């Protein structure tokens, strides 16, 4: 097993945005650093350890990555979208996709800095190069022509329609015409947002900031429908059974690596992430 294939660079100081947001540098050993204090991400570290111990690790793709100079630090922007990506009670990046990308980046010899931002700032920031990397949907208008998208589906996210008392018959945007609909502020809903906001469609939109707010608004009778993703809604329900709450599936949305074209060595960054993800997936060592 070649040591070159297993060497990981240390974390580097993250960039700061003009707004004063502080980054959370993640070293390629799966550690998060904030305010000078090292905070280990245990699950990501275990995932990396599993990679180091996996038989047959020294294969062509990882060796090829090791022989090339690693791109500079990559700023990953994420939205508050539990349980996939969110900031925990101690101010640290958390979630299943955060754990996954820490392991993938370590294997790919990429240093990451993680920054949370609302979609309204993150999506234009990806296009402008303020952020280098996003993990999620590829449909935001800001991404069109400004990003490189990985072919691998790194997660599948289910979108549902919710209503009180009756099962909502929603399969396409046109089914929402003339209805009152609750949406999460900043969500593009896999490309549905332009239809939702077009006055010609007669949709009354109520924007909320969380699944909990959306559920409360729906239960109050202020709107007929609520569009939300399955897992965030389950967290909002917190195990409660609401017999009058009905739902129907709309679609399954694939999440991908999305890299800004303004990122230095953008194609190389995406190639490393894709090769690392595929190798770890096939080896069964992703968290």
Q: Average pLDDT in the 224-246 region?
A: 94
In whole angstroms, give the CA distance from residue 266 to residue 180.
41
What sign does the dihedral 147-111-52-57 (CA atoms) show?
positive
Average of per-residue pLDDT across 134-141: 94
- Residues 212, 23: Cα–Cα separation, whole Å: 27
Q: Do 266 and 258 touch, CB atoms closer than 8 A?
A: no
For the cut 50, the answer to whether the pLDDT of residue 78 exceeds it is yes
Whether residue 136 is predicted with pLDDT greater than 90 in this model: the reply is yes
| Tens of pLDDT, residues 113-125 | 999 999 999 999 9
DSSP string, 221-243: TS-SEEEEEHHHHHHHHTT---T
pLDDT range class, residue 44, cuts 50, 70, 90: very low
Q: What average pLDDT does the segment 57-79 reach? A: 65
Q: Is the pLDDT of residue 58 over 60?
A: no
Closest to 109 in 3D by CA, of 135, 148, 71: 71
d(CA 265, CA 228): 36
Query: Which segments within 41-111 are labelled E, that is strand?
Result: 74-78, 86-87, 93-94
Q: What is the mean pLDDT of residues 128-148?
A: 96
- Write down the pTM of the prediction: 0.72
User: Residue 156 has which token pair?
Assistant: 């599948």
Domains in the chain (CATH in brackets) are 3-155+254-283 (3.40.190.10), 158-252 (3.40.190.10)
Q: Which residues contact 167 (CB under 8 A, 6 or more apart)?
A: 246, 247, 248
Is residue 48's pLDDT more than 60?
no
For the cut 80, the answer to whether the pLDDT of residue 283 exceeds it is yes
């Amino acid at each position: 097993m070649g040591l070159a294939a297993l060497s990981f660079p240390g974390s580097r100081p993250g960039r700061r945005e003009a707004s004063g947001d502080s980054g959370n540098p993640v070293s390629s050993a799966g550690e998060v650093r904030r305010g000078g204090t090292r905070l280990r991400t245990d699950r990501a570290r275990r995932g990396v350890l599993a990679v180091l111990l996996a038989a047959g690790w020294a294969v062509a793709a990882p060796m090829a990555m090791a022989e090339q100079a690693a791109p500079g630090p990559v700023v990953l922007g994420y939205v508050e979208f539990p349980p996939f990506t969110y900031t925990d009670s101690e101010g640290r990046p958390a979630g299943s996709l955060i754990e996954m990308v820490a392991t993938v980046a370590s294997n790919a010899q990429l240093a990451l800095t993680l920054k949370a931002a609302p979609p309204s700032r993150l999506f234009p920031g990806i296009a402008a190069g303020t952020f280098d990397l996003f993990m999620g949907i590829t449909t935001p208008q800001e991404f069109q022509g400004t990003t490189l998208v990985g072919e691998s589906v790194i997660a599948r996210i289910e979108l549902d329609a919710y209503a009180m008392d009756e099962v909502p018959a929603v399969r396409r945007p046109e089914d929402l015409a003339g209805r009152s609909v609750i949406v999460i502020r900043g969500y593009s809903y896999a490309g549905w947002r332009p239809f939702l906001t077009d006055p010609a469609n007669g949709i009354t939109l109520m924007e909320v900031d969380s699944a909990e707010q959306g559920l409360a608004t729906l239960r109050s009778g202020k709107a007929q429908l609520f569009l939300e993703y399955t897992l965030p809604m389950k967290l909002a329900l917190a195990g409660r059974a609401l017999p009058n709450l009905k739902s129907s599936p709309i679609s399954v949305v694939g999440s991908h690596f999305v890299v800004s074209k303004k990122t230095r060595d953008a194609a190389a960054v995406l190639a490393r992430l894709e090769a690392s993800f595929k190798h770890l997936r096939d080896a069964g060592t992703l968290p």
